[in-house]
Amino acid sequence: MTARCLLLLGASGRLGATVRRTAPPNWRLDVPTRIELDLQRLASGDTGPLEARLAHAPPEVVLNTAAMAGVDACEVQREEATAVNALAPAVLAKVCARAKVPLVHVSTDYVFGGIGSQRTGPYAENAVQCPAQHYGATKAEGERGVLDAGGRAHVVRLSWIYGSAARAFLDHVLGQVDGSGQAVAVFGAQRSRPTPATSVSKWLLALCDLLARGQAAPSILHPVSGPSASRNQWARAILDDQGHDQVPITEAPMQVRGFSKTAVRPVDSRLDGTATMRWAEQVGMPALLDWRDSPSSN
């Protein structure tokens, strides 16, 4: 069987690295480096390197996992965040539309959670964007640019991704366990949905396979893994999973043990994936691992 070509952007990132690791043999991954395909240059309208790549080895699908995902860094480095998260995806989508190549663009639950028409989740696929900080605002703008470009473009929103390449919250929780019985401090009020990186990577690859075969898919997708949770609930599950069931958890502000935050975090950015998961079941997409079955690894 001839392998299909997938152009994967952001392969060195938390999600992209997992996609690269889990890709089955029926996909041949084209993985440009940041030098080969500079998103800031793309944002400025320099489409030459991208168009040359599409012409040289035409992919069946483009999967964009690239982003400036540091929420606090985005608050400080606003121009770079806007270029990478907002402008580059729009240009990418236009080039893909002209080349008639399907595009899957990964976004985030952080396009929600600010002041808007719906102040609390869960947020359905068609909910009005209401970001709480610059990172969310740039990702929201990027979504609009992708969907306005025409072509076969799809936005996939994900939340609280965790796994071997995405350990920030896991390390924050487990790094506080010192054997003394001292409580682990987390910003417990924040609510969303943990998403296992390996499981959702396989789901994304299945979506790409479906698109490569010419099948249709919704323009906005919310693949969800188990029920929503607070940071407290997720931290409790992590500790129990690692054998630290006697370690207590305490509420903490965002500034705690080196976790000083510049940007506002949404208190409630839960995604409602009812429509997405119903569609996914109908077309035979793989089921996602329930995060509660593996809350600290996947």
Is the distance from CB of 102 to CB of 211 less than 8 angstroms? yes
**Which DSSP string corresponds to 39-55?**
HHHHHTT--HHHHHHHH
Is the distance from CB of 158 to CB of 198 less than 8 angstroms? no
Residues forming beta bridges with residue 72, ordered by sequence position: none
CA 36 to each of CA 32, 85, 290: distance values in angstroms, whole numbers, following the listed order: 6, 18, 37
Is the distance from CB of 222 to CB of 75 less than 8 angstroms? no
In the block, residue with structure tokens 């190549």: 101
Q: Which residues contact 81 (CB under 8 A, 6 or more apart)?
A: 68, 73, 74, 134, 135, 138
Backbone angles phi, psi at 206, to 5 degrees: -65, -40
Active-site residue 135, yes or no? yes
Whole-angstrom distance, CA of residue 135 vs CA of residue 33: 23
Residues carrying an active site annotation: 135
